[in-house]
Amino acid sequence: ETILPAVDSELVADFIAWSGAAQGQYAQSVPAHLFPQWGFPFLAANIETLPYPMQKVLNQGCEISQKGPLPLDAELKVACHLVEVREEEARVRIHQRLTTGTASQADLLTCDLFGVVVTGKGAKKTSRSREEEKPWLPVGGWTASANEGLSFAMLTGDFNPIHWVGPYAKHAGFDNAILHGFASLSRTYETLLQQAPMNIPYLPRINVRFTRPLVLPNRLEVQIQEGAPTKVRLVDENGVVCMAGDYSLSEVSDDVS
């Protein structure tokens, strides 16, 4: 646990512009999905002594829950918890929780992060049953440039070269540099917020899995499937689902400020 100074307001403004947020959306608050900027150092330190090849850890997804706006220019009370480490055949699953708030309310923002470390060969992929699906409705999208990964790195401090150095990413087995999963989440988050049927300051809950690498450059489309909760997925220009999950709007109203 620690107390951090307020996130630099110019950095917040740059991140808001990059994320595609609507004008005036964050006049006096910090976007929830900027959490990697202050959270990644603690999340990394929290697992660095685990007895596994942590350089191979892969982000599988996260769930963001928010109880109120994170105020701009306020000190941040941050806590990082190692919730679970579970060994399975040929892999280790890691669950961490990052909470961020203020002196008066420490849990304004809760981010549960899920990662996996592949420790051997033969890890079996989980099969999922296919149910009769409702139609997927496009609600927006954006074009991710070849430099999108570097932009996210400069805003958050996560300079893993697979996200912005093409030859390095190819050496690691990818077709080109791949966009950070949390960058995909940021852009998707703002797309969902803008298409919400009411004026709300944040999404009270969003849960996503990073299902396939998002190779740069690319054109992305956000699609939703109505229900309770509403399902969401991010589809690239080749029809590949790069991210999938669900989100809820019912816990917040337009009178929250």
Per-residue pLDDT of the chain (257 residues; tens, 9 = 90+): 999 999 999 999 999 999 999 999 999 999 999 999 999 999 999 999 999 988 888 999 999 999 999 999 999 999 999 999 999 999 999 999 999 999 999 999 999 999 999 888 665 555 555 555 789 999 999 999 999 999 999 999 989 999 999 999 999 899 999 999 999 999 999 999 999 988 899 999 999 999 999 999 999 999 999 999 999 999 999 999 999 999 999 765 444 43
pLDDT at 133: 74
Cα(67)–Cα(154) distance, integer angstroms: 28
Give the helix/strand (H/E) hosting 205: strand 205-210
> Among the residues of 48-160, which ranges form H helices?
148-156
β-sheet bridge partners, residue 86: 93
pTM of the entire structure? 0.92
How many Å separate Cα 53 from the centre of its chain? 23
Cα(124)–Cα(59) distance, integer angstroms: 17
Cα(174)–Cα(56) distance, integer angstroms: 15
Nearest to 80 by CA among 102, 112, 103, 33: 112
Query: Parallel, antiparallel, or unpaired: how do β-strands 70-71 and 57-66 relate?
Result: unpaired
Q: Which residue has the tokens 């959490």?
A: 35
> What tokens appear for 12 in the block?
């917040």
Cα(191)–Cα(66) distance, integer angstroms: 17
Nearest to 40 by CA among 100, 102, 117, 118: 100
> What tokens appear for 24 in the block?
């005036």
| Amino acid (1-letter code) at residue 86 | R
pLDDT at 123: 55
β-sheet bridge partners, residue 210: 243
Is 255 exposed, middle or buried, given 0-12, 13-18 or 19+ CB atoms closer than 10 A?
exposed
Altogether, the residues listed in the chain come to a count of: 257
- Cβ neighbour number for residue 215 with a 10 Å cutoff: 20
